[in-house]
Structures are given as structure tokens and as C-alpha cells.
Amino acid sequence: MEIKLSQCFIAVDDHDRAIAFYRDVLGLEVRNDVGFEGMRWVTVGAPSQPEVNIVLEPPAADPNASPADKQAMAELMAKGQLRGVIFATDDCDETFERISSAGGEVLQEPMDQPYGVRDCAFRDPAGNLVRFTQPLGK
């Protein structure tokens, strides 16, 4: 039996700003852009990984969420506390320069970590953590 990652979800409050970041700054491709009942889902992914999709979804996409839960999710997103994603890169420093020069909100400049990677971190336009790792020695 084989199990592989297919999709992951990131809550965003402005899909157009999210697309500008994930497509225009990170270089991911937009694979799908769907609206339904006043909500919008945009799927992006790396051209080198056609089988892995990142779904940019509204923070309150669950139709069963109570108004209080939807409010709590909006507040957590505003604080950058909902979700994050970690990308692998073959050049952490070059990735950092490209994203920071495009105006990305820097959380951590490139640094070597004791667990064997060099990494850096940003926030996307919705406040989500976006980290980039490169194995040390590569």
C-alpha cells in the first residue's frame, strides 16, 4: 500500500492577494479557481509536483461551523495562527532574496538549523507561515 500527499489547505481572506503571492512571487501555477455559494477555492501547486495541490480556501469554508467558530477562525487567521506550509528549495538564500525583494513579510532570514537544514520564513498576505528549507550540504 502506498500513501502520498495529494492536497493541503491554507485559509486565505483575499484570494487575489493570495494568488499574487503564491503564483507571482513563489512561482506556483494556478490549477483551479472555483466559486460556490459565495465562496472561492483556488488550487495552486509547483509545476514539478503535479500530484500535490495546495487549496487556498476561505477561513470559514466548513458549512457546519457555528458563527462563533467562524469568528474564532477569522481572529486566529488575523494573528497568523491558523496554518502554515513548508516548501523544499534547492537554494534557500536565493529563494529568500527573491521573496523578500518582492515585498514578502520576513519572519526569519536564512539560517542553519541544528536539525540539518538551512531555512527561512515569511508570512503570506493572510498571515500564514510559509517556510523554505534546504538540506545542509546541498
Mean pLDDT for the stretch of residues 31-53? 92
Report CA 5 to chain centroid distance, whole Å.
15
Query: Has residue 37 got a pLDDT over 70?
Result: yes
Q: How far apart, in whole angstroms, are the C-alpha atoms of residue 15 and residue 32?
A: 12
Look over the chain and give the mean of its residue pLDDT values, rounded to a whole number: 90
**Residues 56-102: tens digit of each pLDDT:** 988 777 778 888 888 888 788 777 777 789 999 999 999 999 999 99
Three-class secondary structure of residue 103 per DSSP: coil
Sign of CA pseudo-dihedral 71, 74, 79, 85: positive
pLDDT band at 138 (very low <50, low <70, confident <90, very high): low
pLDDT reported for residue 52: 95
Is residue 8 classed exposed, middle or buried when 0-12, 13-18 and 19+ CB atoms within 10 A define those classes? exposed
pLDDT band at 120 (very low <50, low <70, confident <90, very high): very high
Single-letter residue type at 50: P
In angstroms, the first-to-last Cα distance of the chain is 31
Contact 132, 96 (CB under 8 A): yes
